[in-house]
Amino acid sequence: MDHFLLLLGALMVLTLKVISCAMSYNDGLLEEEELREAQKKNRLIELPSFTEYVGYCLCCGSHFAGPVFEMKDYLEWTERKGIWAPTEKGPAPSPFGATIQALLQATVCMALYLYLIPHFNISGLNSPAYQEWGFWKRLSYQFMSGFTARWKYYFIWSISEAAVIISGLGFSGWTDTSPSKPKWDRAKNVDILGVEFAKSSVQLPLVWNIQVSTWLRHYVYDRLVQKGKKPGFFQLLATQTTSAVWHGLYPGYIIFFVQSALMIAGSRVLYRWQQAIPSNMDVVKNLLVFISFAYTVLVLNYSAVGFMVLTLQETLALYGSVYYIGTIAPIVLILLGNMIKPAKPSRSKARKEQ
Ligand SMILES: *[C@@H]1O[C@H](CO)[C@@H](O)[C@H](O)[C@H]1NC(C)=O
């Protein structure tokens, strides 16, 4: 079973690479003026050779757990071009400090996961004891199971980040500060504190599974927006559904990603209200910031149950055991958002600040 899961992970990353390589090559055939920034940056003018293609697809270190990266960057790294080109200051910077940091992070995540998993796990969610608990205890157990499960992903991503950094591919340019320092975030797939302390669900795709979110933005979301039009709920839902199909056709994944589209739409309502509050009402503003944070952790951990148990029956039973609170909350927010619309002037100001 475990071998099977490893193979699945490898195929998931491979799928993204094959698609992005093909689409970037296609972008290379189009007129440059018609392309978005990301397309211009990643487009391939020449067809990569067979060896380059196989090297990109099977690049070890990132084979089983990602992260996904662009063919263009892979080619520049292997050929010592672009940011990897040797400068007068010498060859590329040393990756050792950043590698050790990623390894330390991996160790902490593994330790925390191994400490928590005997207490909060899927079998606990399905145990007879769970059925006897009251609402708050069930909700907290769901909450803690989601929290615990995340550390497994933090560990896997940190350890492959270390592998990609030490290979040199993880290098992503220099900071603007003086003296400039090397940046190593090409393989950074998660910002742990960013996830755990997210003030709004809108931030989550920017800090969780970062490389796949970027991939989804460049290869799905952006390409669904017609020229001159704004993206809406359709683009969001289509992107989250693609993500669900990519994870595997389990009902739990589909439910999770529909949940997450609702969660983000609800968060946007809170954000609009927050922006509309005049600056002399700090208490109300801070209260809304706190509500937005609490809403995010609540709905995220509730939604994560679907991601963990996967079957339709179990997911619905567990959601029902806490009265579908994490589905009702975003829907109520979205409906309220349609009724309570902040005044126009502050809204256009908010848009500018965004
Ligand atoms: C799962 O958690 C429960 C406590 O909720 C514990 O009794 C059980 O041993 C745990 N199972 C595993 C496999 O760690």
Centre of ligand 1 to C-alpha 58, Å, is 37
275 in contact with ligand 1, CB cutoff 6 A: no
- Torsion, Cα 196 199 203 206, to 10 degrees, reads -40
Cα 182 to Cα 169: distance, rounded to the nearest angstrom: 12
Ligand 1 mutation target, pool 116, 119, 144, most atoms within 8 A of CB: 119
Cα 306 to Cα 221: distance, rounded to the nearest angstrom: 23
Residue nearest atom 13 of ligand 1, based on CA coordinates: 118
pLDDT reading at 34 higher than 80: yes
pLDDT reading at 231 higher than 90: no
Centre of ligand 1 to C-alpha 175, Å, is 46
- The active-site residue, picked from 3, 63, 218, 247, is 247
Two tokens, residue 145: 């199971």
Two tokens, residue 315: 């997911």
Q: 55 pLDDT band (50/70/90 cuts)?
A: very high
Centre of ligand 1 to C-alpha 141, Å, is 12
117 in contact with ligand 1, CB cutoff 6 A: yes
What integer pLDDT is reported at residue 346 of this predicted model? 47
Centre of ligand 1 to C-alpha 192, Å, is 25
% of the chain exceeding 90 in pLDDT: 75
128 in contact with ligand 1, CB cutoff 6 A: no
What integer pLDDT is reported at residue 349 of this predicted model? 47
- Residue 18 makes CB contacts below 8 A (sequence gap 6+) with 57
What is the average pLDDT across 36-50? 95
The pLDDT tens digits of the residues spanning 72-87 come to: 999 999 999 999 988 7
Residue nearest atom 12 of ligand 1, based on CA coordinates: 118
Cα 52 to Cα 25: distance, rounded to the nearest angstrom: 14
Cα 320 to Cα 81: distance, rounded to the nearest angstrom: 55
Centre of ligand 1 to C-alpha 126, Å, is 10
What integer pLDDT is reported at residue 179 of this predicted model? 84
What integer pLDDT is reported at residue 233 of this predicted model? 83
**Quick check: helix, strand or coil at residue 174?**
strand
Cα 225 to Cα 227: distance, rounded to the nearest angstrom: 6
Cα 234 to Cα 221: distance, rounded to the nearest angstrom: 10
118 in contact with ligand 1, CB cutoff 6 A: yes
Q: Specify whether 247 is catalytic.
A: yes
